[in-house]
Structure 1
Amino acid sequence: MTRDISERLADQGIRLKDYAAGEHATLCPECSHNRKKKTDPCLSVKIDGEGGATWICHHCDMVGNVPCIEKPSKWKRPALPEKPKRSESMYDWFKGRGISRATVDAAGCFATEEYYGPEKKSCIAFPYRLDGKPVNVKYRTRDKQFKQTQGAQRTLYNIDNVTGDEIVFVEGEMDVLALWEAGIKNAVSLPDGAPKEAKFRDDDKRFEALRNCLPKLEGVNKVIIATDSDGPGEALAAELAQRFGKDRCWRVDWAELKDANAALQAWGAESVRNTVEEAEPWPIDGVYRFEDFGNAVLDMYHGRGPQPVRIGIEGLDDFYRVMPGTFHIVTGIPNHGKSNFLEQITMTLAEKHGWKFGIFSPEHKPAQYASRLLEKHLKQPFYDGPNPRMTPEEITSGLEYVNRHFYYITSNDHTPTIDWILEKARLSCLKYGIKGLVIDPYNEIEAGREKNQTETEFVSQLISKIKRFCRTHDVTVWVVAHPAKMHRDLNGDQPMPDLYSISGSAHWFNKADMGLIVHRNFEEKTTAVAINKVKEQPAWGGTGKLTFWFDGAHRIYKPSGAF
């Protein structure tokens, strides 16, 4: 049951006299109890009327929000007939495709008539159920015209029969029934078929059914992809592998046949079942022939497929580009601006390229991190000072943007392990379509070293897990790591560290795809950014050093030259 706005605000320690949409003033849970004027209503709260609210304290500058509640979707639920019609001619039609009467009855299929344009035609109905309730019906005529219940919720066909940690994806209701006939009852299909080509868009409506079935998919560890062997089937397979992670996906080869139903008719139930059971890992573990990568080599040569992204920060793009699915290390002496500079990178990727990010930054409270992102987005100071600060109205608007592009990962009751963080990021990739993950800093991760395991071995294992996550989910990961204690030179200055200076292990340099160092010159009021590691030069950039100055009025770094 959806909790109302009063309960959600109470979770934050905020209580109002009433909860009507509009502006309200009340006590601040952060500072009011410590003030002399304890009854001064210094917290401004704006309720938007759609289940969300934003607030700012005019005394301690605390800000925050609870997001709008998505309005209950007014899905149109189909009304199934109490006595569904199942004629002998319908059973004969299924029999001609290898589907038995028992399977048809178990799936709840029935014969009916529906309008296709102005003409009413005989068709077969395939009910979609979720938690035992009908949520959609897909209709098919003998000449393969399709329609669905208008306004129905998009779910996976046969999802209620996925009860374990394994699922099989096929392409169409008939293929689901074909596998059922072969004794495989955990097969599902998307309601809207396969795309012509893989676009990997997180807002693709074709995959809305995955989001609607997420609670049933979270426990799945093995995804067998048995889509059609044509171009759209391969595109759908690639889309599914990207969403679930290639490390848990397996691929069925239908040989010269098109799909599961064709295989059932040609080979029989036992051979179909064996073919699914013999699915191969994606990608196949072991040794490959280079001809397996021929298309990928040509795509790289012609500039097709994934390409390094020019972030959009003047000067930096010549040296540092972001290849999706890579591992980046960022270091620098504490308080030299490495987190600040990385926040500018992520916000620019969000603004110019539409990227979404998961953020694990336990050194900052969520409201603090939001204020930092707001400065980068609005190009104005959050706090009061010599330059005009952002207004509450601009904060409200800015938070709406931040909510769409950044997702804060946190654990309030334990220090998380890298496995816990990556699992939350995996779910965020599936549900929200994140393309980047920031872990800032590394030393806030639970070490959890095994007995007799050295720190160097632990770091190597941790980086390997991160890089595996990058590859399988095509997500770029930035890790901020502090250098070991730096000794001052004869002038009392701390020299710029390098990637080998990072505390714990040389693996930070050796295993990183890209490496950045951020170092501030307090006398000259400049910040040097050194690119010390570029795995693929010149495609991803090149090593070098740039100098930036921090524009305090607009809260961003601007280049002052490169050398």
Structure 2
Amino acid sequence: MKYKLEQSDIYAFASRMGIAVKPKGNEIKFQRCPYCSSSRQDQWTFSINAVTGAYCCPRASCGASGHFVELARDFDFPLDSIAPKQYKELPRVRLLTSTPAEEYLFRRGIRKEVTRAYGITTSPQDENQLIFPFYRRQQDADGKVYEKMEFVKYRLIDYDKSRHRAKEWCESECRPILFGMDHCDPAKSRTLVITEGQIDSLSLASAGIPNAVSVPNGARGFTWVEHCRDFVAQFDTVVVFGDCERGSITLVNEMRELFPNVKIRTPRLKDYLGEKDANDILQSFGEKALRTAVEKAECYQPATIREMADVEQVNLDDVPHFRTLFPKLDHALGGFYEGQLITITGKRGTGKSTVASMFAVAALWQNWNVLFYSGEMADYEVKRWIDFQIAGEKAIRERVYTSSSGYYLDPEQERQLADWYRHRLFLVDNAAMEEQSNPDLAAEIETAVRTYGVRFVILDNLMTAIDAGENIYTEQSRFAKRMKSLARKLHIVVLLVAHPRKSNARELTGDDISGSGDVANLSDTILMLDRVEKEKDDRGKYWQTVLAVQKNRATGVLVQGDDRIPLRHSKKSKRLYQLGDGGVTPFPFDLSKAKVQKTVLPF
């Protein structure tokens, strides 16, 4: 009877393997590959087509592919009408150790009696070819225990990549099991030690460490799990003595996922003593160093988790920050702190871009280098806006035309301003970005921050900063997460200008930011600009801009409702001034007080 593919079988297979799945069209995505277990970067890439049954792992180091029936057979998963996979029957003999094998492993620090006990030998045709037999204890019909060879691995002693195709390989069609299982006894020790290579497990055995085994196919092969799950379950603790590579230990994450009910321990990184694996430690520092590494192995601690008690208290005054040009806002926030993602929103015409450039001026005045991105204004418009805000009303001149008037600065004043913020104020060149085949604004921002010492980034606005594609909400969320990550990683302040969705509410809130809700959720501070109707003394009415704080993670102080900060706009200087009981709050500087000084780049 021919097998008929059922989606329920795919889900049942995933459940047995302990792998999370999710459907996507005709594909069923697996969180990790059953063969190589995948890395964190490659999660959800392994998939099975629910219609055809074809599976594939796209990782170059794995590349497993085939039909679901083959997958089920590889992992001994029973399917109706499909016979289980048949493995090669190996000779029921115990291999005798050869002299070349003893001598080679002895040079690697492994006692000769250990080599003999494990039956490590060499090929009669080639003394350069080591043979590692994998045995499992079995019972015959009479209940007599014997050792059955189920897997064989080969390794070249004098491997030369210019002459040989591979350093290691396995006997085909054999059942993959752990090397050294036949030497393990859970009655003597409830701890199992797993290494990546056979020579590493032999090194542990040579040091007198019990229950040392190794995986058959390296750190990326896990076809052995289904054949050894019951064996591993006999032990209370598993010490994963993987290879130490770039500050992390191989096999650990996969073992935690594959055996969630087993206590996983690992040697401390310092107990590797700068070496890569167990055999290197043995050769350089001896057997005692290996015993110490296993004895002092600690419960695995993910790099992403830390003790709350170890978190140091931080005084906000000690966190680098700069003050805005609005005293009431600074009183509520304390200023803009490094590591923050700040979002400002407001209806059209309320002054979002004006306030954003005001914050840029404030940062420059307090010696914070600034990067400005504008998706709506030309570069010369951004420069003119900021120049006017720095200069102030007294420095700006008015030119009267036939039917209108305009404002300008003298060329000498413009030169003075350019010299003042040269090497400190930068602008994303939109024209150059458009010429790139795959423009990545976030990557360009990171480069600018690292190159020019930028500490304050302004993105005006969110909609023009992203490539919306098919799902604008997804892209907004992804971009906001990247900006949040950059703020924390690079210790900078990022200000997002965002449009609100249409709302009839009396006062806007964080929920009114247009697009993905992740923008508001990820923001440390949310500022809102609005226009409210006011009455004059003579009972006339006018519109006034107000600034609100709708979210504030730093101090928790909100500025809402009648407490919103009233602002007055200067048409001449493009400035927004805070209004209060004492009238307009003056700027702390103007062009006549600005000390022009040359700034030297830090490279």
- TM-score by length of structure 2 reads 0.41
- TM-score by length of structure 1 reads 0.44
Structure with max Cα Rg:
2
